[in-house]
Structure 1
Amino acid sequence: MCGRYANFLTEQDLIDAFEVAVMSDDARLLPPSWNIAPTQKVPIVVPAREPAPVGERHVEVARWGLVPSWAKDPSVGSRMFNARSETMAEKPSFRAAFSKRRCLVPASGYYEWKTGPDGKTPYFIHPAGDAPLAFAGLYEFWRDKAEGDDAPWMASCSIVTVASRDEMQEIHDRQPAMLTSESAATWLAKDAEASDLHDAVAAPAPELAWHTVGKAVGNVRNNDADLIAPVT
Structure 2
Amino acid sequence: MCGRFTLTRDINAVAQAFHVPVPASLQSGARYNIAPTQNVVTLMENGSTHLDLLRWGLIPSWAKDESIGSKMINARAETLAEKPSFKRLLRSRRCLIVADGFYEWKKEHGGKTPMYITMKDSELFTFAGLWDTWKNADGEQLRTCTIITTDPNELVSTIHNRMPAIIAPDARDAWLDPELHDEHALVPLLKSYDNDAMQARPVSRLVNNPQYDSAELIA
Q: Same fold (TM over 0.5)?
A: yes
Please give the residue correspondences for 1:204-223 in structure 2 after superposition, counting only pairs within 5 Å. Answer: 204-205=193-194, 207-223=197-213
Residues 32, 79 of structure 1: CA spacing in aligned structure 2 closer, same or farther, 3 A cutoff?
same
Q: For the Cα contact (< 8 Å) 2:96–2:128, is it kept in 1?
A: yes
User: 2:185: which partner in 1?
Assistant: 196
User: 2:149: which partner in 1?
Assistant: 161
CA distance in 1, matches of 2:92, 2:58: 14
Q: 1:131 aligns with which of 105, 123, 128?
A: 123
Aligned amino acid, residue 176 of structure 1: P
Cα offset, 1:197, TM superposition: 0.9
Does residue 109 of structure 1 match 2:119? no
Does residue 34 of structure 1 match 2:23? no
CA distance in 1, matches of 2:177, 2:75: 19
**Unaligned stretches of 5+ in structure 1?**
none
User: 2:162: which partner in 1?
Assistant: 174
Aligned-pair identity (%) = 37
Structure 1 runs of 4+ off > 4 angstroms?
none
Cα offset, 1:180, TM superposition: 1.6
Q: For the Cα contact (< 8 Å) 2:152–2:160, is it kept in 1?
A: yes
CA distance in 1, matches of 2:163, 2:77: 11
Aligned to 1:134, what secondary structure does the other structure show?
strand
CA distance in 2, matches of 1:36, 1:21: 23
CA distance in 1, matches of 2:9, 2:176: 21
Does residue 63 of structure 1 match 2:63? no
Q: TM-score, normalised by structure 1?
A: 0.88
Aligned to 2:33, what secondary structure does the other structure show?
strand
CA distance in 2, matches of 1:203, 1:172: 13
User: 2:16: which partner in 1?
Assistant: 16
Aligned to 1:202, what secondary structure does the other structure show?
coil
Cα offset, 1:190, TM superposition: 1.7
Cα offset, 1:24, TM superposition: 5.7
Mean alpha-carbon deviation: is it higher for 217-226 or for 129-138? 129-138
Q: String of CA shifts for 1:150-208, please: whole Å, max 9, x gaps.
A: x2211100001001111211000000011121121111112222112111112644711
Q: 2:42 aligns with which of 32, 41, 44?
A: 44
Does residue 3 of structure 1 match 2:38? no
Q: TM-score, normalised by structure 2?
A: 0.93
CA distance in 2, matches of 1:33, 1:131: 15
Mean alpha-carbon deviation: is it higher for 31-40 or for 106-115? 31-40
Aligned to 2:143, what secondary structure does the other structure show?
strand
CA distance in 2, matches of 1:195, 1:19: 29
Aligned amino acid, residue 33 of structure 2: N
CA distance in 2, matches of 1:130, 1:111: 15
CA RMSD of aligned residues (A): 1.6
